[in-house]
Amino acid sequence: MGSTTVLLANETVLGSAGELCGNHYDSARQALRGSIKDLGDGNFDSAGRKASGAREQVKICGSDFARLGVTYPQNLAKREALLEQLCDIASNIIFSLLV
């Protein structure tokens, strides 16, 4: 297998991992939007679960890269960490409303 073939194969795998991450981030975005709607409706328990679920969707992204044997890009890892923190903050605020 030539170096061009290996490079194209790596780009294909990287593209697949990126597409999977895009899907997970889209699911996280939808979950957070649902959480906001639930907050407006006074359904705090559901809002908290959706915010927590959004965090889990983001975490899956790094796992997808590892499963496909591709190095997780540093800029995505930083974005994942920030979004996880945001989801944690949202979840903590929401769950504190339940007490």
CATH number at 42 reads: 1.20.140.40
Maximum mean pLDDT: which of 7-21, 36-50, 54-68: 36-50
Contacts of 14 (CB under 8 A, 6+ apart): 70
pTM here?
0.75
Structural domain harbouring 45: 3-98
CA distance 15 to 45: 36
Tell me, what's the pLDDT at 14? 65
In sequence order, what are the residues at sequence separation of 6 or more whose Cβ sits closer than 8 angstroms to the Cβ of residue 32? 50, 51, 54, 87, 90
Query: Could you tell me if 40 and 75 are in contact, meaning their C-beta atoms sit under 8 angstroms apart?
Result: no
How many domains, the chain? 1
Highest mean pLDDT among 39-43, 69-73, 75-79: 39-43
Q: How far apart are CA 26 and CA 69, in angstroms?
A: 23
- Residue identified by tokens 């073939």 is 5
